[in-house]
Structure 1
Amino acid sequence: MKAYRDMSKEELLALKAELDAKYREAQAKDLHLDMSRGKPSAEQLDLSMGMMDVLNSSTDLKDSEGVDCRNYGVLDGVKEAKELLGEMSEVSPDKIIIYGNSSLNVMFDTVARSMTHGVMGSTPWCKLDKVKFLCPVPGYDRHFAITEYFGIEMINIPMTPTGPDMDMVEELVSSDPAVKGIWCVPKYSNPQGITYSDETVRRFARLKPAAEDFRIYWDNAYCVHHLYDDDQDFLIEILGECEKAGNPDIVYKFCSTSKISFPGSGVACIAASPNNLKDIRRQLTIQTIGHDKVNQLRHVRFFKNLDGIHEHMRKHAAIMRPKFEAVLDTLEKELGGLEIGSWIRPKGGYFISFDSMEGCAKSIVAKCKDAGVVLTGAGATYPYGKDPKDSNIRIAPSYPTKEELAQATDLFVLCVKLASVEKLLETK
Structure 2
Amino acid sequence: MSTSAAAPVPSTGSTPSSPALAAALPELRARYEELRSRGLRLDLTRGKPSAEQLDLAEPLLALPGEGVHTDADGTDVRNYGGLLGLPQLRRMFAELLDVPVDQLLALGNASLTLMHDTLAYAMLWGVPGGTEPWSRGPVKFVCPVPGYDRHFALCEAFGIEMVTVPMTPDGPDAEAVAALVAEDPTIKGMWAVPTYANPDGAVVAEAVARRLVSMPAAAPDFRIFWDNAYAIHHLTEDEVKTANALDLAAEAGNPDRVLMYASTSKVSFAGAGVAFFASSPANVAWYTSHLKYQSIGPDKVNQLRHALFFGSAEGVREHMRRHREILAPKFRAVSEILTERLGDHGVATWTEPRGGYFVSLDVVPGTASRVVQLAQEAGIALTPAGATFPYGKDPDDRNIRLAPSMPPLEEVRVAMDGVATCVLLAAAEAAAVAE
Matches for 1:74-89 after TM superposition, within 5 Å:
74-89=82-97
Among 167, 170, 176, the alignment partner of 2:178 is: 170
Whole-Å separation in 1 of the counterparts to 2:223 and 2:36: 48
The answer (yes or no) to whether the contact 1:63–1:80 under 8 Å persists in 2 is yes
CA offset at residue 317 of structure 1?
0.3
In structure 2, the partner of 1:197 is: 205
Indicate yes or no: 2:256 matched with 1:245: no
Secondary structure, aligned partner of 1:246: coil
In structure 1, the partner of 2:54 is: 45
Name the aligned partner's letter for residue 56 of structure 2: L
The answer (yes or no) to whether the contact 1:4–1:12 under 8 Å persists in 2 is no
Whole-Å separation in 2 of the counterparts to 1:156 and 1:366: 26
In structure 1, the partner of 2:148 is: 140
Structure 2 unaligned spans of 5+:
1-11
Whole-Å separation in 2 of the counterparts to 1:53 and 1:203: 46
CA offset at residue 13 of structure 1?
4.1
Among 265, 278, 284, the alignment partner of 2:291 is: 284
Name the aligned partner's letter for residue 61 of structure 1: H
Whole-Å separation in 1 of the counterparts to 2:257 and 2:311: 31
Secondary structure, aligned partner of 2:292: helix
In structure 2, the partner of 1:15 is: 24
In structure 1, the partner of 2:169 is: 161
Whole-Å separation in 1 of the counterparts to 2:18 and 2:398: 21
Indicate yes or no: 2:131 matched with 1:122: yes
In structure 1, the partner of 2:417 is: 410
TM-score, normalisation: structure 1? 0.97
CA offset at residue 44 of structure 1?
0.3
TM-score, normalisation: structure 2? 0.95
CA offset at residue 4 of structure 1?
5.5
In structure 2, the partner of 1:180 is: 188
Whole-Å separation in 1 of the counterparts to 2:15 and 2:40: 28
Secondary structure, aligned partner of 1:426: helix
CA offset at residue 26 of structure 1?
0.9
Tell me which stretches of 4 or more aligned residues in structure 1 moved more than 3 Å. Answer: 1-5, 11-14
CA offset at residue 99 of structure 1?
1.1
In structure 1, the partner of 2:402 is: 395
The count of aligned residue pairs is 423
Name the aligned partner's letter for residue 397 of structure 2: D
1:130-175 CA distances to partner (integer Å, 9 max, x unpaired)? 1100000000000000001111000011011111111111111111
Among 210, 213, 225, the alignment partner of 2:218 is: 210
Among 26, 36, 40, the alignment partner of 1:31 is: 40
Whole-Å separation in 1 of the counterparts to 2:174 and 2:233: 25
The answer (yes or no) to whether the contact 2:232–2:239 under 8 Å persists in 1 is no
The answer (yes or no) to whether the contact 1:179–1:211 under 8 Å persists in 2 is yes
Whole-Å separation in 2 of the counterparts to 1:386 and 1:349: 24
Secondary structure, aligned partner of 2:293: helix
Whole-Å separation in 1 of the counterparts to 2:107 and 2:314: 22
Q: Which moved more, 1:360-369 or 1:157-166?
A: 157-166
Name the aligned partner's letter for residue 259 of structure 2: Y
In structure 1, the partner of 2:309 is: 302
Name the aligned partner's letter for residue 306 of structure 1: A
Whole-Å separation in 1 of the counterparts to 2:432 and 2:36: 23
Whole-Å separation in 2 of the counterparts to 1:384 and 1:215: 22
CA offset at residue 3 of structure 1?
4.7
- Higher RCO (CA-CA < 8 Å; seq separation 6+): 2
Indicate yes or no: 2:13 matched with 1:6: no
Whole-Å separation in 1 of the counterparts to 2:15 and 2:174: 35
Whole-Å separation in 2 of the counterparts to 1:2 and 1:343: 16
The answer (yes or no) to whether the contact 1:376–1:393 under 8 Å persists in 2 is yes
1:353-385 CA distances to partner (integer Å, 9 max, x unpaired)? 000011010000010000001111100000000
Whole-Å separation in 2 of the counterparts to 1:7 and 1:135: 34
In structure 1, the partner of 2:6 is: none
Whole-Å separation in 2 of the counterparts to 1:372 and 1:65: 53
CA offset at residue 122 of structure 1?
2.9
Whole-Å separation in 2 of the counterparts to 1:122 and 1:255: 28
Change (3 A) 1:173 1:154: same
Whole-Å separation in 2 of the counterparts to 1:291 and 1:62: 15
Structure 1 unaligned spans of 5+:
none
Name the aligned partner's letter for residue 384 of structure 1: Y
